[in-house]
């Protein structure tokens, strides 16, 4: 891996927007007011390239998940801009953001957020139903994705009948089922055994084979660091270092 420490001269930042999956500039986010104000992001710049898996790493509380949520349009930034595939998401209304997310973004978060009355396949099919698919076709497609995650025999199970790791795989299937342009993942392997974690990361890698796709992964799991094309290390609300695959590593792969 080739490391480039971020300085004012060279931050590895692209000046354009159209060739980037994500372009964040000067992103500031804080919570609370006055003396109780907590600064989560302190002027973050980040580029995510199409066809790449970008990892965000760093100690707990450094702002990783907040940055992921701002990039995905779930949280509003207090200052700065966020563009996704050339669209200024940070300037959209709540309704526009909701529609944009439904069409373009898949989410894998630490909380699985499965609907307890729906089966695994029905939960995984939700993005397709929202997109206008018939329930039958959506559930059939969801079963295919669940099978790729080793969950074929659990497709008709309710969340309460699944282990934590199995619930996470349903959440991952839900994120992948509609083939989103941008996939944002918060600790996607945290509750998984090593073998299943590697399978999930391989699926995420496959998701960015196409040049119009990108994946962002927040993780503490050093077993999966080698899947990254580009790694942003955060500390105290800043991106302090960018690490990219060297051409030598790519040739050896």
Instruction: Give CA–CA dist 103/128, Å, rounded.
Output: 10
What does the pLDDT look like over 40-60, one tens digit per residue?
Answer: 999 999 999 999 999 999 999
The verdict on residue 162 lying in a domain is: no
Question: Please, are residues 86 and 18 in contact by the beta-carbon 8 Å criterion?
Answer: yes
With cut-offs at 50, 70 and 90, classify the pLDDT of residue 84. Answer: very high
Inside any domain, residue 171: no
Helices (H), 40-82: 64-71
pLDDT at 12 over 90: no
pLDDT in tens, 212-223: 899 999 999 999
Please state, in angstroms and as integers, the Cα–Cα distance from residue 4 to each residue in 135, 175, 200, 246, 251, following that order. Answer: 48, 32, 28, 11, 20
User: Is residue 91, in this structure, part of any structural domain at all?
Assistant: yes
b/e sequence 113-138, b meaning 16+ C-beta within 10 Å? ebeeebbbbbbbbbbbbeeebeeeeb
Q: Residue 169: inside a domain, yes or no?
A: no
Residue 18 has pLDDT above 80, yes or no: no
**Domain total of the chain:** 1
CATH code of 194's domain: 3.40.50.300
Does residue 5 have a pLDDT over 70?
no
d(CA 77, CA 69): 9
In a domain, 245, yes or no: yes
Q: By residue range, what is the domain housing residue 67?
A: 2-33+41-113+181-252
Residue 6 burial (C-beta neighbours within 10 Å; 0-12, 13-18, 19+):
middle
CA atoms within 13 A on the CB side of 214: 19
Is residue 133 a part of any domain in this protein?
Answer: no
Q: Does some domain include residue 230?
A: yes
Q: State if pTM tops 0.75.
A: yes
Confidence of residue 243 (pLDDT cuts 50, 70, 90): very high
Average pLDDT over residues 62-82: 95
């Amino acid at each position: 891996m080739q490391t480039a420490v971020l300085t004012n001269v060279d931050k590895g930042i692209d000046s354009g927007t159209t060739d980037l999956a994500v372009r964040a500039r000067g992103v500031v986010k804080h919570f609370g007011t006055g003396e109780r104000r907590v600064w989560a992001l302190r002027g973050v710049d980040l580029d995510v390239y199409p066809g790449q898996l970008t990892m965000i790493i760093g100690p707990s509380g450094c702002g990783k998940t907040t940055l992921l949520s701002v990039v995905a349009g779930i949280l509003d930034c207090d200052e700065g801009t966020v563009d996704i595939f050339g669209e200024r998401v940070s300037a959209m209304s709540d309704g526009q953001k909701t529609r944009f997310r439904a069409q373009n973004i898949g989410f894998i978060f630490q909380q699985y957020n499965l609907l307890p009355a729906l089966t695994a396949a029905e939960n995984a099919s939700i993005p397709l139903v929202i997109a206008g698919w018939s329930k039958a076709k959506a559930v059939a497609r969801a079963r295919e994705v669940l099978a790729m995650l080793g969950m074929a025999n659990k497709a008709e199970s309710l969340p309460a009948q699944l282990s934590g790791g199995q619930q996470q795989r349903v959440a991952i299937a839900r994120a992948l089922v509609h083939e989103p342009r941008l996939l944002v993942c918060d600790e996607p392997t945290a509750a998984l055994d090593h073998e299943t974690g590697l399978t999930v990361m391989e699926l995420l890698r496959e998701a960015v084979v196409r040049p119009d796709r990108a994946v962002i992964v927040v993780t503490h799991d050093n077993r999966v660091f080698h899947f990254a094309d580009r790694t942003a290390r955060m500390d105290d609300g800043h991106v302090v270092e960018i690490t990219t695959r060297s051409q030598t590593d790519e040739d050896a792969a």
